[in-house]
Structure 1
């Protein structure tokens, strides 16, 4: 997703990614099979890039059995072109006309003109990690805890982080209030993603990090305010676990280095543009997260828990205070902070209780950038959302088939990308289902919804996000949006689309 990489960045990548084929005198050499200039072939690559302490390696991934096709706009239709697997991780579509086309992969559509499209994703951890059907519990024997808080919210907790296997988990043992040591058996270890096997001979380790509530000054009405921070930690030596037995976590936690984070967070500037999200949107709440980035500061590869979390009530107004967080991780790890404001949008299916969907406005960056100036929206929501020219904010009755979704650029900010998500609203069982996603550059402000997405008798709504992320390249490398460190976004919601 890197956009028009500069020569310095290319040199840095050459040092860590030999697959780019860099030379000293002429820059990157195209990978084998890259379409020649002027060729109508489209080359699609799918490689998983694995980040470890040694750097990035890439491995071909399976395209799977889902749809993979190029769709060519012709009048009011999208005409499919089929391709073929040329080699592992490389798929080629012949004779795709120059200009914009849609690359359909699973339930995702990429609006692009690229002749060499990279669908690769980044993963934290070694490439041969084995996933498990069921993860283990934990057996705890801990010393050196900061006095435990169990009876109030937020409470104390433990994070379990392994950069070797790309795993992040959380535990909330029921230690007594004030305890500085504790033992417990069969403690639930909740992990983000699939549980994995640890292999001692491959150097698999894990960090155990205590997170602790910290108090801020009470609000004028007496309401308390807290946030959580990493305070103590230790790292387990290499160990093995195949999920058949609890993970044995024994050790003494040590205080971790702390730093201050002064935030001037102008939440009122987010709340003031709620109507851009939807005419009925109301500002609900905001939160802030500070997370570690293993081995790098350039991209946020792999979720590795949080060092600080803060949920901010909308009645508290702007936030201009200093938070303190601890950080146990090595100096070559980076940090990323994200401030998000949430907006409630009521969406009603006839005869049911209205859905209350949450839209987001987000600002994400390194701490140095977030503290250098007040945090304000970097971009506004897309404006003038329509379906086939009709106002989509009010809700529409439409037919199945193909439709044109269009919008205007936001009133503030200059997006370099947009994302459109189509959600189906379900009354029973109650919930939402992502039907399709579209990604495109900031120069594109309309898409054609292919026939077959909208089903007769169903209800849908649209989420259109404006994105400001200087390093993101939606045209050529679209699937690493969540890895970008410098990022801002704002969403707009349609009303309910009722399909006849």
Structure 2
């Protein structure tokens, strides 16, 4: 089945998705490759006949699921009205006239400074303002049209007053914690401090007409988050991410779960708090910091602690231009659960990543059109699932871009790429994520895996490889 669910303040709307333009297919792995089985529409989904018992690959779009289930739900969850219309742009001119702001602060180093974010729980809109000119430090009243708003999640939706489409305007600014042991400077976090709710309005982004926001910002209820983050427990696993990787930037976020299900969250509805720490930090961070929350009590807060790692390599044919290969070790849960105990890795990266049995930590040409990506389980933790991402290097943008995703059960230790995925004379990399998510069912509902809490994950990445 392909059941779409739309989460709003009045409940969940459900509808089936027409798959006729890009139907799913079943691939049976054989000794030498794959046998493809086409399906046919049946009772709102697709039915595949003569599929033997046991594991098979189910393709939906560019994603593949390794499963032995006889019924798989490939639908997705969405935030906002099911009848939302979207424009064809992510950006819109913005006209702002706001009073009673918290004194404006500048960004610098790891500090974000003051920002304006926009969140609507009615439609899929979580945006941010980008100012072309510097706003003077200490500003408490802001009137400018020299700015734009960008939606961070989707094309900008059409706002309809008759359907209740309003939004929150939030100001986030710097708050300060204890001195950091490495620098002696205080921890600088970004916290929501002022907010204004804009009642339902009509607006269609056309690239010319500005989104107009005016009013008086209000102080919001404040809470505190107290945490103990054992960063030194993360850094030893850099070489498991990649033999050449080094620890990079730890980050901590408290995001908003608007209208999410009881066990998770849907989409992205902005943040109320965040901070970054110095690269390679290996101390234990203990602090108590404030954040504001203007939202209804049923909008749960989701905390995420993530440590990034990076190796630098020159892709084949790039003339020596170094580009990053990245991975992360992360924990995400409702914030009160995340900080209830010291934050340390619950899961470490998969080990022994290989392509056709050859270690993937060195660059090489892969001539096989259907190679096997294999790995060993993590040294610590028990994965409930794996997600393998095939990334293609873009010579136009000088970066890796996701091409295909493979979802596999936690017992898997390899995936075979179907023929036709790897294109000739192309540079790739592959990232394998181990996932521990006790409420997720990757073989039954693969595309909701990252929405169910808690979720712990850890990545390993290959070096660049190319095809002849």
Do both proteins adopt the same fold according to a TM-score greater than 0.5, normalized to the shorter chain? yes
Instruction: After TM superposition, give the deviation of residue 455 of structure 1 in Å.
Output: 2.4
Q: TM-score, normalised by structure 2?
A: 0.93
Is the Cα–Cα contact under 8 Å of residues 383 and 434 in structure 2 kept in the other structure? yes
C-alpha separation in 2, matches of 1:236 and 1:106: 38
Pick which of 211-220 and 384-393 moved more.
211-220
Partner of 1:60: 16
Q: 1:299 to 1:266 in 2, by over 3 A?
A: same
Q: Does 1:200 align with 2:161?
A: yes
Aligned pairs for 1:279-294 (under 5 A) are 279-294=243-258
Are the equivalent residues in 2 in contact too, given 1:156–1:172 (CA < 8 A)? Answer: no
**Aligned counterpart in structure 2 of residue 299 of structure 1, from 248, 254, 264:** 264
2:315 aligned partner: 349
C-alpha separation in 2, matches of 1:261 and 1:456: 51
| 1:384 maps to 2:352 | yes
Deviation (angstroms), 1:95:
1.6
* Cα separation, 2, equivalents of 1:120 and 1:405: 27
Query: Within 2, Cα distance between the matches of 1:273 and 1:253?
Result: 45
Q: Matches of residues 74-473 of structure 1 in structure 2 within 5 Å?
A: 74-87=30-43, 89-134=44-89, 135-150=91-106, 152=108, 153-173=111-131, 174-192=134-152, 193-219=154-180, 221-223=183-185, 225-244=187-206, 245-296=209-260, 297-316=262-281, 317-350=283-316, 351-473=319-441
What does the per-residue CA deviation read over 1:443-465, in whole Å, with 9 as the maximum and x for residues that have no partner?
11111111112223222221111
Greater alpha carbon shift after TM alignment, 215-224 vs 274-283: 215-224
Shift of 1:393: 2.2
> How far off its partner does 1:484 sit?
2.0
* Partners of 1:400 and 1:455 within 8 A in 2: no
Q: State the 1:66 CA deviation.
A: 3.6
**Contact 2:310–2:326 (8 Å) recurs in 1:** yes
Q: Deviations over 1:88-107 (max 9, x none)?
A: x4111122111111011222
Shift of 1:395: 3.3
Q: CA deviation at 1:117?
A: 0.7
Shift in Å at residue 488 of structure 1? 0.6
Please give the alpha-carbon distance, in whole angstroms, between the structure 1 residues aligned to 2:42 and 2:249.
49
Unaligned runs of at least 5 residues, structure 2? none
Q: How far apart in 2 are the matches of 1:455 and 1:213?
A: 47
Preserved CA contact (<8 Å) 2:24 2:46 = no
Cα offsets for 1:119-145 (capped at 9, x unmatched): 111111111111012353222221221
- The Cα shift of 1:496 comes to 2.6
The separation in 2 between residues aligned to 1:264 and 1:357, in whole angstroms, is 29
* Aligned counterparts of 1:417 and 1:54: Cα–Cα separation in 2: 33
Shift in CA distance, 143/426, structure 1 to aligned 2, threshold 3 Å: closer
Shift of 1:163: 0.3
| Structure 1: distance between partners of 2:138 and 2:397 | 43
Q: Cα 1:116–1:389, aligned 2, differ >3 Å: closer, same or farther?
A: same
- C-alpha separation in 2, matches of 1:363 and 1:64: 38
SS of 1:136 mapped into structure 2: strand
Relative to structure 2, which stretch is displaced further, 445-454 or 112-121? 445-454
Structure 1: any 5+ residue segments left out of the alignment? 1-44
Mark the CA change 1:427 to 1:159 in structure 2 (over 3 Å): closer, same or farther. Answer: closer
Instruction: Report the 3-state secondary structure (helix = DSSP H, G, I; strand = E; otherwise coil) of the residue aligned with 1:472.
Output: coil
Q: Distance in 2 between matches of 1:488 and 1:497?
A: 28
TM-score by length of 1: 0.87
- Answering whether residue 443 of structure 2 is matched by residue 478 of structure 1, we say no
CA drift at 1:223: 4.6
Q: Contact (CA 8 Å) 1:263, 1:322: kept in 2 or not?
A: yes
3-state SS of 2:430 partner: strand
